[in-house]
């Protein structure tokens, strides 16, 4: 009896989607399934070495090792074994397969109209500043589509009344695809208030990327407001527009106060398995490191009690058959002079030792400690250098800490300025190909994105005051070029007032 009721409920749910949408959804699911299988097969093939053309792809992964060691010329280093290849197979079922979703479009069917009304209500509540007539116009436009996540089976069991109603929609993204130009513009994105902080925003975007590949879409482009830029950055969007402007210019509407952002959709990436993909890559890299590393294959005896670098020098001299050592344990060679224990301190002035080790031109306790560490057997063989050890000293760490703290403070100021409504004219450089006379008035153009790049580069700004100088120059440039009655001049005036507030303690 219960099985019959469950079968009937499923049939009603499929009927509510409409036969055409059901067929489209099944085709999309089968296409995705075949694509997932193709990706899995390709990954396993690359992991096993692949063909001659794909052999470079299987090892083209960034690796950072604390103690670099030259790779031995061995068969295991050139081709990973079967155990490594197996890590590329997904070991668990795709969690996205349980998510109920559908593509909604104004096809005139009653069930589609119900869901379109649900989308209109969802976007109106989630985007209160957006005009409702504008939302209605785009949602019901036949050229726009929406990918919606529906209530789960568990939610329907708890509340069966929402099935087939406009309250069934958990979240959705409305977009318009320009197939001839191979890009799509995202118009709206929202998740129901009751379903916030559950990861539906990320799931929506990942499902949309997977669906976009089936439509031939290569890029997503959107104008994000100040509250949405953070979300889009997490989903792979960037302010750097790599798509040729000729492909979207004139097709999408420009919005004042919005930030144009872009995302490239890679056709070979399974966006619904990103965590598993990263885990497989990490395991593969660690296995390759173990293959080429010597650190776990060469074991040195423990240092004896009372070991000193001078004593090590005496042991090395005896091992080399040179018994001529002074009282401090350093070898005496013809024409070389005596290198006493104090030579560690003298050598920190710079130069090169007889073994070829380069000593930086510095004199400090940190250098002496680094030299003592380099005398430990196995340190040089493991790939450590004086530069590596000096970078780990307290003084170097303090300098890095101060530099990173300043960088963090400056980036925070940039973010605060960008988040203001009047900051939109200053976010990107002025396009001098369109504003041809701009450089005739403004001799030193500057903008927020340029400042952001300078901060991230490292040592451009030495203090907050240096950043304040560039900020004020940006304000003065805007006032110098634009008329006092223009909206740009008004934005510059508001920004100047805001800068006085955030830099008052600088």
- So which residues are the catalytic ones? 185
Q: List alpha helices for 264-364, DSSP H.
A: 274-292, 309-319, 343-346
Residues paired with 149 in a beta bridge: 101, 171
**38 token code pair:** 């193709």
Measuring CA to CA, which residue among 187, 204, 182 is closest to residue 144?
A: 187
Q: List alpha helices for 18-87, DSSP H.
A: 19-47, 75-78, 82-86
Contact 206, 272 (CB under 8 A): yes
Element (H, E) at 405: helix 394-418
**189 token code pair:** 């994105």
d(CA 265, CA 227): 23
Report, in angstroms and rounded to the nearest whole number, the Rg of the chain calculated over CA atoms. 32
From edge to edge, which strands make up the β-sheet containing 169-178?
101-104, 145-150, 169-178, 183-191, 219-224, 259-264
d(CA 437, CA 34): 55
Contact 103, 146 (CB under 8 A): yes
Element (H, E) at 238: none
- Can you list the positions of beta strands (E) in 133-289? 145-150, 169-178, 183-191, 219-224, 259-264
d(CA 387, CA 358): 9
d(CA 120, CA 138): 9
Decide: helix, strand or coil at residue 325: strand
Q: At what angle do helices 394-418 and 365-374 cross, to 10 degrees?
A: 110
In the numeric block, the tokens 């080790």 are attached to 357
Going by C-beta distance under 8 Å and a sequence separation of 6 or more, which residues neighbour residue 477?
442, 444, 445, 446
**432 token code pair:** 């001098």
Q: How many residues does the chain have?
A: 506
Measuring CA to CA, which residue among 506, 420, 408 is closest to residue 466?
A: 506
d(CA 309, CA 296): 24
């Amino acid at each position: 009896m219960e099985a019959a009721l469950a079968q009937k409920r499923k049939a009603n749910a499929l009927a509510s989607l409409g036969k055409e949408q059901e067929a489209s959804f099944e085709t999309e699911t089968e296409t995705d399934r075949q694509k997932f299988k193709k990706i899995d097969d390709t990954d396993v093939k690359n992991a096993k070495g692949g063909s001659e053309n794909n052999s470079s792809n299987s090892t083209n992964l960034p690796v950072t090792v604390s103690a670099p060691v030259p790779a031995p010329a061995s068969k295991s280093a050139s081709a990973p074994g079967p155990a490594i290849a197996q890590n590329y197979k997904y070991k668990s079922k795709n969690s996205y397969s349980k998510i109920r979703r559908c593509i909604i479009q104004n096809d005139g069917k009653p069930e589609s109209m119900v869901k379109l009304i649900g989308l209109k209500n969802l976007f109106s509540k989630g985007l209160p500043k957006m005009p409702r007539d504008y939302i209605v116009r785009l949602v019901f436009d036949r050229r726009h589509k929406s990918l919606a996540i529906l209530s789960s089976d568990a939610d329907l069991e708890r509340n069966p009344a929402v099935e087939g109603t406009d309250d069934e929609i958990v979240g959705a993204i409305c977009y318009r695809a320009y197939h001839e130009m191979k890009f799509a513009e995202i118009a709206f994105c929202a998740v129901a208030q009751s379903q916030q902080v559950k990861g539906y925003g990320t799931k929506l975007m990942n499902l949309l990327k997977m669906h976009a590949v089936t439509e031939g879409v290569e890029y997503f482009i959107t104008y994000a407001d100040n509250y949405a830029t953070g979300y889009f950055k997490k989903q792979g969007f960037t302010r750097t527009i790599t798509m040729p402007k000729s492909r979207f210019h004139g097709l999408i509407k420009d919005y004042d106060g919005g930030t144009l952002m872009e995302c490239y959709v890679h056709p070979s990436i399974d966006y619904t398995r990103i965590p598993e993909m990263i885990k497989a890559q990490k395991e593969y890299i660690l296995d390759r490191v173990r293959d080429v590393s010597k650190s776990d294959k060469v074991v040195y005896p423990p240092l004896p009690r009372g070991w000193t670098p001078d004593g090590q020098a005496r042991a090395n001299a005896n091992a080399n058959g040179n018994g001529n050592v002074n009282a401090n344990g350093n070898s005496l060679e013809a024409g070389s002079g005596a290198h006493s224990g104090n030579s560690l301190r003298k050598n920190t002035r710079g130069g090169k030792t007889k073994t070829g080790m380069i000593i930086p031109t510095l004199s400090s306790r940190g250098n002496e400690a680094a030299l003592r560490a380099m005398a430990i057997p196995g340190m040089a063989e493991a790939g450590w250098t004086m530069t590596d050890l000096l970078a780990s000293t307290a003084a170097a760490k303090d300098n890095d800490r101060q530099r990173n703290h300043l960088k963090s403070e400056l980036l925070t100021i940039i973010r605060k300025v960008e988040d203001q409504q009047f900051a939109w004219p200053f976010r990107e450089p002025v396009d001098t190909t369109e504003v041809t006379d701009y450089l005739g008035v403004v001799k030193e153009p500057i903008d927020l994105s340029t400042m952001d790049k300078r901060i991230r580069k490292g040592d451009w700004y030495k203090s907050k005051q240096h950043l304040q100088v560039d900020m004020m120059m940006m304000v003065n440039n805007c006032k110098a070029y634009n008329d006092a009655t223009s909206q740009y001049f008004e934005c510059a005036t508001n920004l100047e007032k805001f800068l006085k507030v955030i830099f008052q303690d600088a």
